[in-house]
Structures are given as structure tokens and as C-alpha cells.
Amino acid sequence: MMNHPEYAARLGRLRRLRAALEKYESAFYEAFEQDFGKGRFETYTTEIGYVLTAIRHTERRLRRWMRPRKVATPLVLFPARSRVYPEPYGRVLVIGPFNYPLNLTIAPLAAALAAGNTVTLKASRQTPAVSARIAEMLREIFPPDVVEVVSPDVSNDELLARRYDYIFFTGSPRVGRIVMEAAAKHLTPVTLELGGKSPAIVTVTAPLRLACERIARGKFLNAGQTCVAPDYVLVHASVRDAFIAEMRKVIQEYFGDISRRPADMTLIAQQRHWERIMELIDPAKVVIGGTGDATTRYIAPTVLDGVSWSDEVMQEEIFGPVLPVLTYSDLETEVIAKVRAGEKPLSLYIFSRNRREIRKVLREISFGGGCVNDTVMHLGNENLPFGGVGNSGIGAYHGRTGFETFSHFKSVLHKSSCSWLNFDLLKPPYKDSLLRLVRRVYR
């Protein structure tokens, strides 16, 4: 029989986790700098501070989320009351990625603990310093029967050979398929946070300066190694020249001389990723940036113009600071139809002052989540579920949705034990008059 931790135990685990993050803050700054040159501001805002905010959000609401939920009971079942009880799945496997190795590993861990589960956790092998600090921190505050931290060197095949009650994976669609195949052997439910080519649409009515600022911020944050980063831009042909000119100004204001690594620019996490991204840059189409340094794994903020759908850079998620710009004239045939012809994106962004255009795009294109007149900032709202659809993911989390993701909802009908209230219409012998009565009740 499962022994579910009560509210006080769950809250205590969350508070210990939050206190440990605050204690290890300086150690994480050093680790992020060591792994891929990530500065203190980005490390705090997108990793440490982000997770602390998510944990506080959960702490304040956990008691309410844990309560049994009352639901209506139809008259045909009278007298009775109906309740839905959230309970933990049991043992949860969390596999974290390299791009936000603290955020995207600890945030789902916190949600799983809030729901009362125990966790087996594997951090990324590609960020060894951060993963080592995560392991040290978690082993300091949790026994292995609550949070088991496995070595990043343990292969996914070995890890997935074990049986779990739930699996939460963040990474590529390719590995996501492997995880789902392994989970299917035991019919284990999964959440897959994957990725894809997320478009930013800039219409003829878009506020161009605002669009360039927010696309640049979302694209070049973490050197483009963000699953919800705008992967490419679809800009109306009539404003394309103005868009490129404004983007040039914005990049200059944000980063200064990009021929050398700016202080606020993160590096690419791995050499093989640096090489892959550099191969996607067509020198003939570079209008901004296009350079890199193999010794430091720096890639300059890069904008490509004159890109077509058949170009190599449009065949895979870029996951780096390279922004292809495509133009369109007709929203229906050259934007909506083109995006719908590919895999469903994790995110979509539209910049426009035209409400009809905005409604049309939101209604006709399926995607995980996104923004109107901004990029990536929907992740800052814990009340918004975060997750993909189709090839970009299965399931969602953040806030209450995260608690629900890691909870099984057990439905129970409570009937009275009093014999004089035993109005059971379904017991034999059945009569025609009883059937007529049941027909009326079912209406």
C-alpha cells in the first residue's frame, strides 16, 4: 500500500529545496561560467531565480491543490456525493537537458515532490559542472529513497530499463521517441518536453522597433539554446528592409562589437553543437554576424536574409544564435499554410496591431504556447501551462498544471450506508415500468 506524504512533508521538501538553491547560488554561478560561459544575470533570471519563483508559487498554493475536489453528482445516483482525490503516481523519472540544466531539471523535480512522488533524477552529461553541483545539493538535503540522483554518465538505455510510475523527459524529439518506446513496455505515462522550429511572424502592421527588440532578446538569450526561442522570422515583404535595418540597430545596441564575444553573450555548450550551427550559416545570406570562434565556442548574433523554405537552415531546429528571415505577401498561403505543413511548433509569436490577423493565426495554427507582440515571456507566468503538441511534445507543466501532471486523480462516489436510503434502480428483476422510469431519469 502506498504511503502518501502529507502536506507538511511535501511543504518541508519544497522549503529544503528552495533553501538549498539559495545556499548554492554562488556555486552555480561558477558552474555555469565553467560549462558554457553563462553570465550571472542570465544564470539568475533563467535558472536560479526562475526556479525559486516557481517553488514559492507552489508553496503558497499546495494545500489548496491537495484538497479533494468536489464534483456534481447526477440525480440518478442520489443520494451520493462525488469527489476526486489527487494522489502521487509513485516513483518518477526526471531526465534533464543541457541548455537550461538547472531550471529544466529542478523545476519538474519540485513539481513531482509537491505532488507527493519520489524521484529518480538524471542531469545532463553535457554540463558537467552544473550537474555535479545539482547532485551535491540534492544528496545533501534528500535521502535516496526520496530523491535518487544517478550519474549523468549512466546511459538512457540503462536508466529506462528500470520500471517507473511516471517519466518526465526534456530534450530532442529523437530521444523523446526512445523514451516513449521504453515507457510503452510498462504502459508508463510520460511527459515529453521537446522542441521544434518556432516561428515569429511580423506583419505589415507590426511595431517594428518593438518586434526587433523582443525577437532579438528571445533569440539570443542563452545564445539561442532555448527550446522556445524564435527559430526563424516570417516578415511581410513590404517591411522586410525596415526590419533588417532595425534589427541591425538593436543588435548593435544590445551587444556592441560582435566580431568578438560580448560580455553578455553565452557560449555554445558543446563543440559538436558549435560545429553543427556554424555549418547552417550560408555566408552568401549573412547580413549581420556570421562569425564564430571554435576555441571558445562563441557564435556571433547572426541574421540571414533571402532564406527559402528549402535551405538547410530551415530543415532542423537551429538551437543557436542564428536567425533566418523569410518574407511573405499573403498570410494565408505563405505563413499559415507553410507552418501547418511542417511539424507543430513548440511556440509561435506574432507581432501585429491587427486583431483579425492575430485571431486568424492563433485559431488556424496549432502550437504549444506563445505570445502576441513578445517572445518567450509566456514562460514567466506559472499560471500558464507549458508544453508542446505533436512532435514538439506531450503533456505540460508549470504551476498547478505541474502538480496535476505528476498526480493521478482518483474518482470516488460516496454512497450512504443506510439501508433505508437504498434506492437502487439497477437490481433485478427488471420490469418494463422500471425501464420507462430509467429513461425519464437519464434525460
Q: Which residues are catalytic?
A: 193, 227
Q: How far is CA 37 from CA 30, 34, 120, in A?
A: 9, 6, 28
DSSP-derived secondary structure for 85-147: EEEE-SEEEEE--SSSTTHHHHHHHHHHHHTT-EEEEE--TTSHHHHHHHHHHHHHHS-TTTE
Residue where the block lists cell 532564406: 307
CB atoms within 10 A of CB 95: 25
- 358, 364, 367, 370: CA torsion to nearest 10: 10
- Using alpha carbons, select from 270, 319, 339 the residue that is nearest to residue 126: 270
DSSP-derived secondary structure for 345-387: PSEEEEE-S-HHHHHHHHHH---SEEEESSSSGGGG-TTS-B-
- Tell me the C-alpha distance between 212 and 218, whole Å: 10
> Amino acid letter at 389?
V
For 310-334, give one letter per residue: b (16+ CB within 10 A) or e.
ebebbeebbbbbbbbbbbbeebeeb
Report DSSP state, residue 205: T
First to last CA, the chain: 40
Report DSSP state, residue 192: E
CB atoms within 10 A of CB 128: 16
- Tell me the C-alpha distance between 408 and 7, whole Å: 16
Q: Which residues contact 57 (CB under 8 A, 6 or more apart)?
A: 382, 399
CB atoms within 10 A of CB 397: 25
Supply the Cα-derived Rg of the chain in whole angstroms: 25
- Tell me the C-alpha distance between 406 and 51, whole Å: 17
